Structure 1
């Protein structure tokens, strides 16, 4: 389903940021245990695929999970029951799920992603797990003030940048979905 939307839409639901952070800690502990690198207390990952289809988003044709099918599972997701519950909230086909970290005192300038937008029948949803006022996410030259636990559609096929001026890493749960009637209704309600 292809629909036209603004470049950003805050969806009408929020998730428990504390539970998301607890699940993130469990995932980071698994990474620490699996790592053969010396441990210095800080994890150096930037993205973690929690679910990734065989066919990447930027390639066609795209296969996606059917609505109401069993949700994806891997060792990271198995250790994160609340993130699984968040995924089950979405009544639309999930294409990819990942955690993305913007490390402390870092920036990413004028990125433009693959065409993941409602006009192509896809949506990228962001759920901040950690957030603070020193992180600036700019889409089309306008700040998007996202709080932990909120859910946002962002048209990341447009230019965007991220600057983390804080001493803490910022982590988002990112969910790529196909737009179906349920998701279109949620997006259009706003």
Structure 2
């Protein structure tokens, strides 16, 4: 349990909110170029009942020693040993992006939602700051018709921005546009650096 805030009640305004924009800005053109240079095969998401259409993944950091495509993209909050995949090793800009985080980078995945596809409302166990694990979203490709809802409220995520989202809460996504929506999704272990970063952003958000 992290001690940034004195309580983990969702109704207490001192708790980290369910969404928090982080002070990083990545170049959308470099992100898109890094994605285009991969040329890798996308693996369909391993929980087909959670979506309709095409939701697929390229792993950049995967469980150490794992080679099976599905197990490489599996999100297990108890897994703590990860290694760079060849795709990350061959992608200087994605490595630069991940090096921005002075925290243990666990899983890192590119997640693509094709036009007309929908991720149904679901929750991801353990993905909240107060439990010591955060998931960060960095949009690589997106369009204005992508609809991301967290706790019933829309979150607009622009290319190159960086967001903490409390995905242990109900969330859903629909790509109603005509182009792919691709996010770099990064799981980070909460440490002193991340705690300080969140505290600073929360203070700014509250005008303190």
TM-score (norm 1): 0.82
- Cα distance, 1:63 vs structure 2: 2.7
Distance 1:164 1:57, change over 3 A: closer
Q: SS of the counterpart of 2:37?
A: helix
**RMSD of the TM alignment (CA)?**
2.1
Indicate whether 1:161 and 2:146 are aligned: no
The answer as to 2:109 corresponding to 1:98 is yes
Match for residue 49 of structure 1? 59
User: Would the aligned equivalents of 2:41 and 2:58 in 1 still touch at CA under 8 Å?
Assistant: no
Residue matched to 2:41: 31
In structure 1, what is the equivalent of residue 23 of structure 2?
12
How far is 1:73 from its partner?
Answer: 2.9
Identify unmatched segments of 5+ residues in structure 2.
5-14, 43-53, 67-73, 202-208
Q: Secondary structure at the match of 1:77?
A: helix
Moved more, 156-165 or 51-60: 51-60
1:16-165 equivalent positions in 2, closer than 5 A? 16-27=27-38, 29-31=39-41, 46-54=56-64, 58=76, 60=78, 62-64=79-81, 72-165=83-176
Structure 1 equivalent of residue 70 of structure 2: none
Name 2:46's counterpart in structure 1. none
Give 1:150-189 correspondences, 5 Å limit: 150-189=161-200
Bigger drift between 107-116 and 18-27 goes to 107-116
Give the distance between the partners of 2:123 and 2:101, measured in 1 at CA: 25
CA drift at 1:58: 3.5
Cα distance between partner residues in 2 of 1:148 and 1:115: 26
Gaps of 5+ in 1: 33-43, 66-71
Deviation sequence 1:35-76 (CA, Å, 0-9, x none): xxxxxxxxx77011111234976354x4357xxxxxx43221
Asked if 1 retains the 8 angstrom alpha-carbon contact of 2:142 and 2:179, the reply is no
CA distance in 1, matches of 2:56, 2:30: 21
* SS across alignment from 2:29: helix
| TM-score calculated relative to the size of structure 2 | 0.76
